[in-house]
Amino acid sequence: MNLKKIKAKLNKEASKVFEKLEMKCESFNNNIYSTCPVHEGSDNPRAFSFCPDRGIWKCWTRDCQSEYNNDIFGLITGALSAQEGKRLEFKDALKWIKKEFKISSDYSHCGPMASEDEDDFSVLIKELNAKEPVVKDKEIVNKYNYSIPSLYFNGRGFNKSTLKYFGVGDCDDCGIMKERAIIPIHNDDGGLVVGLIGRSTKEYRQPKFLFYPTGFNKRCYLYNYHRAVSKAIETSCMYILEGQGDVWKMHEAGVKNCVSIFGKTISKEQELKLRKLPITQLIILTDNDQAGREARVKIQRDLSRMYKLTFPKLSSKDIGEMSISKIKNLLINLKGTY
């Protein structure tokens, strides 16, 4: 059962969810009301409201839904966080669902969540419960000076304000980054710069893209993740792009929930990061070439059971080459996803 179906199931059986969260509820005008289970000391008996038709909730006194997301997953995460006295994550909400809806330890359903396509949910729970590979974020010792914004990328059509926002500059030093534009890569919370990409600004500087430090494991990161995650949770959607320039151009078009996968393929490490987010839709914008089309086929095969996938058709080779007006036209039928 994928996340979308799980959400629909929980929305339909919302009264059972509220009962298991020890909420005392009343119904009025097709909505359900209660004290807010998230913030402490709630004394308003209708501080919390849930709309079954839309599957969203709201705290009318402290806007708790803005902190935890306004869907049923966000409610469970927020309520459990209040009970535990510490901030919990989406995966903790899924584990609670697993326990409360009688999903046995051998990952076979024996309760009300059971269905003919239960295996997808079981696999997700198993992955989240599995011991994660330890990736220690290490801040790089940056021995290269570079001037922000990058005149090279500005000359290729990107706004200076965009390049300043993403910290992109041109290297002023000698060494391996000479005559290269520098793109910093951050860890998941944005607190550390864990790598650099050097894009050659001269044709004779090879390779075209150079990662620093040597051996940087790009499979473990998603470019722009720390900036994109908040909007992705709000919209329950993430845009998946190939290159960093694609992310910048989407930013200029007003789309903030975008990440780059550093190429054509979503790695298992990147996939696990996405699965831990309370999102139900991925919009795939790989390049309009043979490799990009092959990448879309693989993504469809690997992730279609877990997410609603959308593959907009590009009018150019990639997003980075498209004008803002063409990008906005591409997104005209995707309102609400960004």
pTM: 0.69
pLDDT of residue 315 exceeding 80: yes
Nearest to 164 by CA among 178, 155, 173, 154: 154
Lookup: tokens for 218: 């790009």
Rounded distance between C-alpha atoms, residue 228 and residue 257, angstroms: 4
pLDDT of residue 328 exceeding 70: yes
Within 13 A of 24's CA, how many CA atoms are on the CB side?
5
> Which pLDDT score is estimated for 276?
86
pLDDT of residue 117 exceeding 50: no
Residue entry with tokens 């720390």:
226
pLDDT of residue 107 exceeding 90: no
pLDDT band per the 50, 70, 90 thresholds, residue 118? very low
> Which pLDDT score is estimated for 120?
58
Region label for 34, one of left (φ > 0), alpha (ψ between -120 and 50) or beta (otherwise): beta
pLDDT of residue 24 exceeding 70: yes
Strand order across the beta sheet in which 237-241 lies: 258-260, 237-241, 281-285, 308-310
Integer angstrom CA distances of residue 267 from 59, 97, 179, 274: 38, 27, 30, 11
